[in-house]
Amino acid sequence: EAGVAQSPRYKIIEKRQSVAFWCNPISGHATLYWYQQILGQGPKLLIQFQNNGVVDDSQLPKDRFSAERLKGVDSTLKIQPAKLEDSAVYLCASSPRQGGYGYTFGSGTRLTVV
């Protein structure tokens, strides 16, 4: 079974620039999550999709972050404009259904904002 694919692996941008991350979940997984993990902390949930609908985006800074999941498969997370404090690893995860049933995480995108 192929895992969760994320790209790019690394990205360095200047503050106020924009950046986009891509995630391809495991085939057939209805639920997709984006987490932000700042160095030394646990992953923080940004947004949760069920198929192509948003289930929870209460922690997403909507003035600068946006996410979509077209056709209930791939997803993109965008930051515009980026701030220094956005430097983190952005992790995508998927699971067959809601309810916390064993997420599979991708390797993440490490973003550095300078």
Footprint on this chain of other proteins (rule: CB under 8 A): 35, 40-45, 48, 55-56, 91, 93, 98-108
Q: Give min distance, CB of 81 to other proteins, in A.
A: 27
Nearer to other proteins, 65 or 103 (CB): 103
Q: Which is nearer to other proteins, 27 or 58 (CB)?
A: 58
CA–CA separation, 102 and 95 (whole Å): 6
* CA 75 to chain CA centroid, nearest Å: 8
To the nearest whole angstrom, how small is the minimum distance from the Cβ of residue 34 to other proteins? 13
Name the strand (E) or helix (H) holding 101: none
Structure tokens belonging to residue 53: 């609908």
- Compute the residue count for the chain: 114
Q: How far is the CB of 78 from other proteins (least distance, A)?
A: 21
Report the alpha-carbon distance of residue 59 to residue 97 in Å, rounded: 21
